[in-house]
A and B are shown apart, each in its own frame.
Chain A
Amino acid sequence: MNLDQFKPLTVYSIYIASTPEKVWEALTSAEFSRQYFFGNTVEVEPRLGGAFIVRTPDGALHISGEVLAYDPPRKLAVTFNVNWPELIEKLGPTLVTYDIEQVGDAVRLTMSEGHDRPLSDDILSGGRSGWPAILSSLKSLLETGKPLVVKLGPPQRMLDALKAMGIKTP
């Protein structure tokens, strides 16, 4: 799969007082992700073409994808497809890329969410409310040992837009 076919539609970056190795571990391990990613666990098969999986706290498959760039502790790119019926057929695949860069004593983590077609702001609003909370919580976890407890309501604007497209949401 050619990564350039995905245009980044949402890009966030955050500075974290940590090391690239720790940031990499936080992004790729279940015990870290459970703490900052709304209780979801991340599993990454550590190779190109490997499986990328996110499970909800009750163990259900939430997101599945494939590892498309694997360069620890600098770059990870995965397809990030939410497991809702017809979502991938109607919206196409989602690519999430993490770039980890040492800047002085800190690390800059840049997350980009790319798509192979234009999507409305309504559809993108879900990620746009979730990612800043996830990244801020990851930063707190690495810097203080404690995640931020961010209580977000359901991403209603996105859910309504998906429903209007005939995509069934839980």
Chain B
Amino acid sequence: MDEVFKALADASRRSLLDRLHARNGQSLNELCEDLAMTRQAVTKHLVILEEANLVTTIKHGREKLHYLNPTPIHQIGERWIRKFERGKLAALSELKRQLEKRDE
């Protein structure tokens, strides 16, 4: 679990997860498109994300595709958050989302 928190404690890695969240199953080339990071840096971050099991890769034909893997986050949720009334938390984040949307 240390690895998960360490992996998430970096804005570049979170932005890679955001890119996979927007479109799951991307190759390294696709992930590097329009990014300010070098290909080398992306590769390094992906290794850390894979070691934390936040990213899973699969070979499809000749390509290696990257997928957002939410199971470690699901486990964190089960361990620490579920006890504290998820329904109310979900309602609060929805409220936050709605209020912030109106500001846009």
- Chain B positions within 8 Å of A155 at CB level: none
**A14–B74 CA distance with the chains assembled, in angstroms:** 11
CB <8 Å contact, B25 and A4: no
> For the side of the interface on B, what is the size category?
10 to 19
Asked, given contacts A4-B61, A9-B24, whether A136 binds B71 with beta carbons under 8 Å apart, the answer is yes
Q: Does B56 contact A (CB under 8 A)?
A: yes
* Interface 0/1 of A1-30, CB less than 8 Å to B: 000100111111111000000000000000
- Chain B positions within 8 Å of A112 at CB level: 58, 67
**A133–B70 CA distance with the chains assembled, in angstroms:** 10
> Which of B25, B56, B74 contacts A7 (CB under 8 A)?
B25
CB <8 Å contact, A136 and B75: yes
- Chain B positions within 8 Å of A166 at CB level: none
**A78–B46 CA distance with the chains assembled, in angstroms:** 29
CB <8 Å contact, B78 and A8: no
Specify the chain B residue showing the minimal Cβ separation from A135.
B71
CB <8 Å contact, B56 and A11: yes
**A10–B53 CA distance with the chains assembled, in angstroms:** 15
Q: What distance in Å separates the Cβ of A151 from its nearest Cβ neighbour in chain B?
A: 10
Which residues of A approach B to under 8 Å, CB–CB? 4, 7-15, 110, 112, 132-133, 135-136, 148, 150
Which residues of B approach A to under 8 Å, CB–CB? 24-25, 53, 56, 58, 60-61, 65, 67, 69-71, 74-75, 78
Q: A8-B25, A9-B24, A136-B74 are in contact. List 5 more A-B contacts (CB 8 A).
A: A11-B24, A11-B25, A12-B70, A14-B53, A135-B71
- Pairs A–B under 8 Å by Cβ, sample size 15: A4-B61, A8-B25, A11-B24, A11-B56, A11-B58, A11-B65, A11-B67, A11-B69, A12-B69, A12-B70, A13-B53, A110-B58, A112-B58, A136-B71, A136-B75
